[in-house]
Amino acid sequence: MSRAVLKQRKLEATSERLAGNDIPKGAAWANDIRQDALQRLLSMGLPQGRDEYWRWTSPSDLTAAQPKSCEPFVDDEEAVFASIDAINITFVDGVFDQAQSDDRGATGLEIGRLQDALSADIHWVKENFSVLEKRAQDAVERPLGVYNTAFATDGLVIKVVDKVEKPVNITYIHNDATSDVVLRHIIKIEEGASFTLLETGASGARSNLAIEVDIAEGAAFNHIRTQGRDHERTALSHIFASIAKESTFKSFTLTANGQLTRNESFLDVNGDDAVAHIAGACLGDGDFHHDDTVFITHDAVNCESRQVYKKVLRNGAKGIFQGKILVKDGAQKTDGYQISQGLLLDDDSQFLAKPELEIYADDVACSHGSTVGAIDEQALFYLRSRGVSKEDATDLLTLSFLAEAIEEIEDEQISNCILERLEMWLSKRKGA
């Protein structure tokens, strides 16, 4: 079958699939942006398994008309970030829940709801909504990000004008076995300001979450996310970031469990002396499928980017990493680092990695490494010879393996929350 025919079929399928989907109502300008997204999606087509970046992760559960039913997971655990003094916001099955949220008023920070912003005739979000999502499409098509622009029904719009110490801590609760969630957060961090976003949980039976974050000159964005034990969920997330001169972007995700999780990140480093770090640690068991797809564009001088991804897999779990660094012509003195590693605890598990470098500047330092291996027998023996059981020794070496990713979290208190949670999850799966 020729490419043209395949593409034609893809577009027909997309058009059929989207026929019943209505764009949420809003102000005229918002409607224009949504319509534009819908048209882009119709000419792009929803992803299929033969698309280059979907070869290892089947998109069918993400694109199907109905989500796979997923019984809510009864979580007996304390919230991961409970000990952090934060502005707490809760979404239940993709809908903002006032009763379980703190007062949104805070100094240096303006927090609103997406649908309120998109219904207002005049709003700062008008200048931001879909801008970074669209920019990301230049590199590789991200149709489900476009889908999010067209159909997102709720989310936060956050404007940060100062250095804000208190993080915003979003908890997503999943109660409905068939909830199909499309959430969009739009964040604008103004010059010299700084902001930390914490996220916990699975937002629904199926979720499509996108974050657009615009980081202005000298500003900083910190993001720490945990995706917990709601195993049957189908989850997709996108981060679209613009990283300006002397600004900093840092993101870390801890994932445990999940039949299908795909986290995509598109970091556009476009101002000199900027820093972009993104990291992930995951713990996969059984019918676990976890995909990190990262694309970093360097289009400025003397910038640094780091990607650190570590996946521990067992009982047939599957981990995917697709990471690309694109250094544009003129982006001299770029320092790009990428590492992706899989630790396979048995012969049934699988780690697939595709590191890519595309470099057009001639004075850069870019390194990448990808490894996959088993537990170091020598280290295991060392621990066991000190009386530590094989199981506990394996857990210690698992923590050791994940450490490089966790060390990417700067805030010690938050890093401890992550470590404690990881240890808890490890001890819970003992003997399983």
Question: Taking the CA atoms of the chain, what radius of gyration do you get in angstroms?
Answer: 21
Nearer to other proteins, 231 or 384 (CB): 384
Q: Is 424 in the site for other proteins (CB under 8 A)?
A: no
Q: How far is the CB of 54 from other proteins (least distance, A)?
A: 33
x/- mask, other proteins, residues 361-400, rule CB under 8 A, reads ---------------xxxx-xxxxxxxxxx-xx--xx-xx
**Cβ 420 to other proteins shortest distance, Å:** 13
> At its nearest, how many Å lie between other proteins and the CB of residue 312?
12
Site for other proteins contains 430 (CB under 8 A): no
Backbone angles phi, psi at 316, to 5 degrees: 90, 10
φ, ψ of residue 170 to 5 degrees: the values are -95, 125
Which of 33/402 has CB closer to other proteins? 402
Is residue 74 left, alpha or beta, with left meaning phi > 0 and alpha meaning psi from -120 to 50? Answer: beta
Sequence-ordered list of residues with C-beta below 8 angstroms from that of 287, at least 6 positions apart, any chain: 259, 316, 317
Options 64-72, 203-211, 232-240, 401-409: segment touching other proteins (CB under 8 A): 401-409
Q: Residue 208 Cβ, how far from other proteins at the closest point, in Å?
A: 34
* Count of residues in contact with other proteins, rule CB under 8 A: 26
Residue 387 or 431 with smaller CB distance to other proteins: 387
Q: Looking at beta carbons only, is 361 or 419 nearer to other proteins?
A: 419
346 versus 356: smaller Cβ distance to other proteins: 346
Beta carbons within 10 angstroms of residue 182's beta carbon: 24
Smallest distance from the beta carbon of 71 to other proteins, in angstroms?
35
Q: Give the nearest distance from C-beta 309 to other proteins in angstroms.
A: 15
Report the sign of the C-alpha dihedral through residues 128, 130, 133, 134, in that order: negative
Residue closer to other proteins by CB (options 360, 382) is 382
Query: Is residue 2 a contact point for other proteins (CB under 8 A)?
Result: no
Q: Does 402 bind other proteins (CB under 8 A)?
A: yes
Least Å distance, CB 398 to other proteins, is 10
Contact 108, 101 (CB under 8 A): no
**What are the contacts of 385-393 at 24+ separation with CB within 8 A?**
391/430, 391/431
Q: Does 403 bind other proteins (CB under 8 A)?
A: yes
Q: Which residues contact 286 (CB under 8 A, 6 or more apart)?
A: 315, 316, 317
Q: Which tokens go with 427?
A: 């001890």
Nearer to other proteins, 97 or 407 (CB): 407
Helix 28-44 to helix 143-151 angle (10° resolution) is: 150
Amino acid in the structure at residue 12:
E
Q: How many whole angstroms separate alpha carbon 97 and alpha carbon 156?
A: 12
Which residues bind to other proteins, rule: CB under 8 A?
376-379, 381-390, 392-393, 396-397, 399-404, 406-407
